[in-house]
Amino acid sequence: MPTLSPARCSARTAQLGVFFGAWLFALPASAAPTVQYSHGDPSGIEQYTLELINRARMGPPQEGVFLTTQTNPTIQQAYAFFNVNASQVQSAFAVITPASPLAMNPILLATARAQSQDMQTFNYQDHTSQDGRSFSTRIQQAGYFGSLGENIYSFVPAAGGTLFAHAGFNIDWGVPGLEHREAIMGFPAPVSPALSSQATWREVGIGLVQAPPNAPQHANEWFVTHDFGEAYSTSPFGPANIPFLVGVVYTDLDADGFYTAGEGAGGITVMPDVGLNFAITSTSGGYAIPLQYLPPGTTSITITFSGPALGTRQVVRNIPLNGTRNLKADVIIQASTSTRLINLATRLRVETGGNVGIGGFVVTGSVPKQILVRAIGPSLTAAGVSGAMSNPTLQVFDSSGMAIAQNDDWQMQTGPQFPLRTAADITATGFPPSDPRESAVLLTLMPGAYTGIVRGVSGEMGVALIEVYDASLGTTGARAINVSTRGRVLTGDAVMIGGFVIQGNRSRRVVIRALGPSLTAAGVPGVLANPSFQVFNSSGTVIAQNDDWKTGPSMAELQTLGRAPGDDRESALIITLAPGAYTAIVRGVGNTTGVALVEVYDAEE
């Protein structure tokens, strides 16, 4: 077990030149981005390290748990050697304020790689290179000026890999202070207040070099450098304070919900709707875009992802701005079309007015898809549900609010849906309702957002089930990716119950959310103030639960996928599930009641 610990330095460099006139340039408010920005070409393992750093910065409490629960034997040996106290580490990370993600910078990437290579070539660990240059001199000579910092770690054991270096830096084992952790996590240094500039760093370069197998010393060991920076502007007026949009596009081949080297999707165009710059993902799948020259008053940007790995599809994200803080948007491309969400259903109490049952779903892709929508009531009684609705009706609307289908009693199919399907068509899907008073429509839908509304005939109230089935599993180029249901959450049998089925031969990532307080902004009265949920497998075992999404393990990933709830009291998780049937039950904390929204998303695009 090597006893050498990581090392860290920080500095603020002076700008050597003054460039006048650059700040006078402006873009027309309507101009689309025309200048491609490149974050360099990090390797897959360097991109993986960046993803580890950014996940840690965005979710410190979860990082503390992650660091102290590693099962790699080499990392566990380091825990023992350096007397790492897991509970103290978790407690320390629990109180760290989340920081914005870092953007890879091509200059810092080059300087970090050069230092790692120098340390490997000459077998040393130091911030001063063998030619006598300090880290700040090296970075400044490369053309980057501003507030700087550097982490270095030599002789990282091959068996521990880059995760060993990440744990060593962030736990800061064998180091009296916490300077490495402070650099990565982006909080002011209580030990060294003069080095507190890391709270403003927004860029990083990561260089990883592995010694060759035939190296005379330290064969196969890793040499790691992180070069951090906050660049000065080209004017004499100090830091530029330009935020970056960063992220990674990847195919989750190992279904672990996190980027792994080799999963990156290069060549994806990342196009904002405003500003100067766009990006094309590097070979690693990563990208960075400086958000500069935005029109005055811009509060959010819309990002469109397109390119080879997405086929004919486009993925669109709307990203709210957060002052000058960096933002992150990732895209996970489905690894296999042989596994998908095929059925999404929600049981809830259906009332009248604004408390009818409202279910929304989205079809993605470029071709039409066959969808079965059902409203179930009477057959719930046989399942032991009290107060079931005896005669539910169903309407389906498109995104413009136009009614495109309706039904009362599924064996009697009438318009306006076209083409008009028969009861025999519905039976042929394998999912016909079991009671003639229940409602169902079989629709061929173009990609888009749709809403189903369930009401009781003659204003009847009761517990009902709204369901959406993917009835065309053989269709490529189209998928039903999420369903959401809004209704009143009460107690007992009248809690909200969302069910879904994953079919196929591999695990799949899904997002589950329970929203309440944020519905107020949409004009919904009587919302559930503090929703929570539990997830059950088909045997009735609780496999996941959440109350307040920021306390759960998915906080950072929810943000990067654009699925973070709008209120801290709302609940959400991203979980990896094997094929099978699952149920999510939404309740009010303390048996409170109110209108809530339960959602199930496919996390893979």
pLDDT digits 0-9 by tens, 147-174: 899 999 999 999 988 999 999 999 998 7
* DSSP code string of 276-328: SEEEE--TTSEEEEE--SPPTT--EEEEEEESGGGTT--EEEEEE--TT--EE
pLDDT digits 0-9 by tens, 441-467: 998 888 888 888 888 998 898 888 888
Asked whether 563 and 574 are in contact (CB, 8 A), the reply is yes
Q: Which segment of 45-59, 82-96, 101-115, 463-477 scores lowest on mean pLDDT?
A: 463-477
Q: For residue 200, what pLDDT band results from cuts at 50, 70 and 90?
A: confident
Distance (Å, whole) CA 215 – CA 121 = 9
Question: What is the reported pLDDT for 561?
Answer: 83
Residue 573 falls in which region: left (phi positive, over 0), alpha (psi -120 to 50) or beta:
beta
Selection from 9-18, 313-322, 563-572 with the highest mean pLDDT: 563-572
Whether the per-residue pLDDT at 244 is higher than 60: the answer is yes
Asked whether 431 and 372 are in contact (CB, 8 A), the reply is yes
More confident call, 556 vs 544 = 544
More confident call, 430 vs 114 = 114
Cα torsion 94, 100, 102, 103 to 10°: value is 160
Which amino acid, one-letter code, is at 263?
A: E
Distance (Å, whole) CA 541 – CA 375 = 27
Whether the per-residue pLDDT at 197 is higher than 60: the answer is no
Whether the per-residue pLDDT at 473 is higher than 70: the answer is no
Please name the residues in contact with 224: beta carbons below 8 A apart, sequence gap of 6 or more: 49, 116, 151, 152, 153, 154, 156, 162, 165, 206, 207, 208
Phi, psi of 588, deg, nearest 5? -90, 135
Asked whether 551 and 570 are in contact (CB, 8 A), the reply is no
More confident call, 191 vs 327 = 327
pLDDT digits 0-9 by tens, 94-108: 999 999 999 999 999
Q: For residue 1, what pLDDT band results from cuts at 50, 70 and 90?
A: very low
More confident call, 128 vs 9 = 128
Percent of the chain with pLDDT over 70: 85
Query: What is the pLDDT averaged over residues 106-120?
Result: 97
Q: For residue 53, what pLDDT band results from cuts at 50, 70 and 90?
A: very high
Whether the per-residue pLDDT at 552 is higher than 70: the answer is yes
More confident call, 464 vs 572 = 572
Residue 423 falls in which region: left (phi positive, over 0), alpha (psi -120 to 50) or beta:
alpha
Selection from 127-131, 510-514, 577-581 with the highest mean pLDDT: 127-131
Query: What is the pLDDT averaged over residues 389-418?
Result: 87
Residue 155 falls in which region: left (phi positive, over 0), alpha (psi -120 to 50) or beta:
left
Q: Which segment of 238-252, 347-361, 504-518, 565-579 scores lowest on mean pLDDT?
A: 347-361
Three-state helix/strand/coil letters over 495-511:
CEEEEEEEECCCCEEEE
Whether the per-residue pLDDT at 16 is higher than 50: the answer is no
Whether the per-residue pLDDT at 364 is higher than 90: the answer is no
Query: What is the pLDDT averaged over residues 360-370?
Result: 75
Distance (Å, whole) CA 348 – CA 336 = 33
Please name the residues in contact with 96: beta carbons below 8 A apart, sequence gap of 6 or more: 60, 61, 185, 187
Question: What is the reported pLDDT for 355?
Answer: 75
pLDDT digits 0-9 by tens, 521-535: 878 888 899 999 999
Burial of 170: CB neighbours in 10 Å, binned 0-12, 13-18, 19+:
buried
Asked whether 379 and 470 are in contact (CB, 8 A), the reply is no
Distance (Å, whole) CA 496 – CA 478 = 29
Percent of the chain with pLDDT over 90: 46
Whether the per-residue pLDDT at 239 is higher than 90: the answer is no
* DSSP code string of 385-429: -TTB-SSEEEEEE-TTS-EEEEESSTTS--SSSSSPPPHHHHHHT
Q: For residue 559, what pLDDT band results from cuts at 50, 70 and 90?
A: confident
Which amino acid, one-letter code, is at 569?
A: R
Distances (CA, A) of 365 to 273, 311, 315, 481: 21, 9, 9, 10
What is the number of residues in the chain?
A: 605
Q: For residue 219, what pLDDT band results from cuts at 50, 70 and 90?
A: very high
Cis preceding-peptide flag for 416 (omega within 30 of 0): yes
